[in-house]
Amino acid sequence: MSLSFDRRSFLASALVSPDVIRRKVALFDLNMQSKVSRKPMPDSSNIPLTSHHRIEADGVHVFYREAGPADAPVILLLHGFPTSSFQYRELIPRLADRYRVIAPDLPGFGFTEVPAERGYQYTFDGLARTIFAFTEVLKLTRYAMYVFDYGAPTGFRLALMAPERVTAIVSQNGNAYQEGLGDAWQPIQRYWREPSLEHRNAIRGGLTLEGMRQEYSAGIPDPTLIKPEGYTLDAALLARPGNVDIQLDLFLDYANNVKLYPKFQEYFRAAQPPLLAVWGKFDPYFVPAGAEAFQKDIPSAIVNFLPTGHFALETHLEEIVITMRQFLREHHQRNNA
């Protein structure tokens, strides 16, 4: 059977019309918004500077962004597809007055460089090993994690490796449950079932500048809020020789994340980490059921929905910052009571 597919048709099949989304927003429970003030962050006149570094870990030259006092509690920001630590450029200084904030680029993304002689295997196990080695080099023995998209299976593997290091988890559309997989995954799930060249090339067609623009706009009621810098940089980095095939390898390997979901859930039940799920409600990839499912294993988990899509930071940065700072402050106070 012939297969005709590009990223735009993939997204179109997963999304409702903009008018329907706008009606959903109008009906969305805005009581949540009344609880989230848009007041500026304290001491906003003294915004911490972000520095940029490279270190070698696991034979990889890992690029990362850092801000905040060296002796402050650590927050590790783990990005997703198709992004890099650049997606956290505005979040980092809004947290760095109280925390040491560190955001690495995963191998295959951003400005992290993998030497050809390293023979790197682009799997989620491989990404997690590299980021774990990165935390070892920086001597990060205790940290909260902010996980988004690919950052979730990467970060949850870190938790399996060293559960005692994880002080809290903020999951922003970072899934760990079968019920959280939206219909937009269907073409990739077909690739899992039958990893043929035909199915691989069907997904390849969407890994373009227009495909990235569509990724960022999916589920966003007002796409004009999306700044072009993020998806334009992502597309430029994707266009590097060999990078599209790296991404296709990771799409295929994502099936192994789903197989690990029960292990992640076992960790949640055993460790009971403080967890905040802050979620774009109209995300076609990781749907609201994935956020709500955390409460099955962590009854104290906080679930907060926002009227936006997958890339919630692009439209609701301030709401996420305020909710996250309150969550981390309360957790830190309890730990030090």
Question: Which residues are the active-site residues?
Answer: 310
CA distance 249 to 244: 9
C-alpha distance from residue 212 to each of 67, 130, 139, 148, 201 (Å) = 28, 26, 35, 17, 17
Nearest to 83, CA basis, from 60, 113, 103, 68: 103
Tell me how crowded residue 42 is: count the other CB atoms within 10 A of its CB.
10
CA distance 45 to 38: 16
Beta strands in the chain (DSSP E): 51-57, 60-67, 74-78, 100-104, 143-147, 166-171, 275-280, 302-306
C-alpha distance from residue 167 to each of 140, 260, 335 (Å) = 12, 21, 9
Residue with tokens 């735009």: 8
Tokens of 276: 């905040």
Give, as one character, the DSSP assignment of residue 163.
Answer: G
Tokens of 12: 């179109």
